Amino acid sequence: MRYFDNHPPENFENEMFLSEEPYIHPTCKIKDSILGAWTALGENTSLEGCSFGDYSYTDGNVKIIYAEVGKYCSIANSVRINPVNHPQWRVTQHHMTYRRVQYGLDTVNDEEIFQWRRDHKCVIGHDVWIGHGAIIMPGVTVGTGAVIGSGSVVTKNVQPYEVVVGVPGKVIKKRFAENVIEQLLNSEWWNWDRKTLESNFKDLLDINVFIEKNGGDKL
């Protein structure tokens, strides 16, 4: 038997350094999507019809379709954003009713269904943390600063800085008091340019320091 302390060894491959050019793992699939600067897509991430904001990342095995993802979002492994709906009002909801060409049932597909799905996009705010295996259902908006617990199924809109857990997802608390949330939202720190971020980075590590420097009241 052989003991492994660390595999692959630390010097096996250069550490991944991010830049304005998005990092995209070779196993990713991207279609009709826009990626911001300093972004990173972990292995087996799939994006379709999405915008993916600056500094946001996925940890891998993530599928996102028809969604707007804000800046500085942290998306854990096996998250699904917008698992698309089927036409329940038809006799059969099977996708042969709209992917008709694939089944030899028509010469064109039913684009109305695909547009219906696009119209029910998900919107994820800035600095949102979505835990392992969570699902954000079609049409849901998750506000800036929110936390979605691992394994949660979110069926309703989430307000800024709320913490949501469970199936279906329920709010258990807010990260900060209302006055602090208001000050954070008003600051719009996620829109800082790179120079401002570098100059004020340490302020982001202490909520009281940040609020005080931005003219607000401490916790």
Catalytically active residues, by annotation: 95
**Residue 98 · residue 87 · CB < 8 Å:** yes
Please state the three-class secondary structure of 11-37 as a single string. Answer: CCCCCCCCCCCCEECCCCEEECCEECC
Instruction: Identify which of 49, 44, 51, 42 has the alpha carbon closest to the alpha carbon of residue 29.
Output: 44
DSSP 104-148: TS-SS--HHHHHHHHHT-EEE-SS-EE-TT-EE-TT-EE-TT-EE
- What is the dihedral sign for C-alpha 6, 78, 55, 158? negative
State the Cα–Cα distance between residues 152 and 166, nearest whole angstrom.
5
**Residue 2 · residue 20 · CB < 8 Å:** no
State the Cα–Cα distance between residues 74 and 130, nearest whole angstrom.
6
